[in-house]
Amino acid sequence: MLRPQIHTIYCDDIIHDVNGKESYIGAYSTELIIPVFPAILPKLMIVLRVPYSEDDPIRAINISVLKDSDVLQVIDLNEEKLPRPKGISSTQLLIFEIVFSPLQLDAPCIIKVNVKLDEEEYEGQSLQILKAPTKQ
């Protein structure tokens, strides 16, 4: 089995166009800077894209979203409950959109996504939430 790359996008919102186009609004790279803590984000979305080979289908997936060591959400799907893949070639794509609305942030932290495909574990890109430097 080829080791899949787990693609993770953190953003404020997603617009789904009628022609199949997706627009990510307020996409973050690796950091989100907050002026003051505690803070509440009205919405944080995580888009998780999991490519795999049609020759080696996924039979089970477990997705854990963590804020530091605290589990925010777990998605656990077996073969019958997996969404239909998106792709027309031998490479297939599972897409998950995970929404936190609102998201309480008491202090700087790291949001990360862990994915278990069958028995293999992978880690998606993390988002570091930092406090803005104070002006002197």
The residue written with tokens 């307020």 in the block is 26
Element at 17 (helix H, strand E): none
Tens-place pLDDT, residues 1-29: 555 688 999 999 999 999 989 999 999 99
Strands 44-53 and 91-100: antiparallel
Burial class from Cβ neighbours inside 10 Å (0-12, 13-18, 19+) for residue 7 reads middle
pLDDT of residue 5: 81
Q: Which CATH class is domain 7-130?
A: mainly beta
Tokens of 17: 């166009």
Is 9:46 a contact under the CB 8 Å cutoff? yes
Q: How far apart are CA 1 and CA 31, in angstroms?
A: 32
Higher pLDDT, 49 or 127: 127
Q: What is the pTM of this model?
A: 0.87
Tens-place pLDDT, residues 84-127: 655 566 677 888 999 999 999 999 999 999 999 888 899 999 99
Is 111:65 a contact under the CB 8 Å cutoff? yes
Q: How far apart are CA 111 and CA 11, in angstroms?
A: 12
pLDDT of residue 20: 85
The Cβ of residue 55 has, within 10 Å, a number of other Cβ atoms equal to 10
Q: How far apart are CA 108 and CA 32, in angstroms?
A: 10
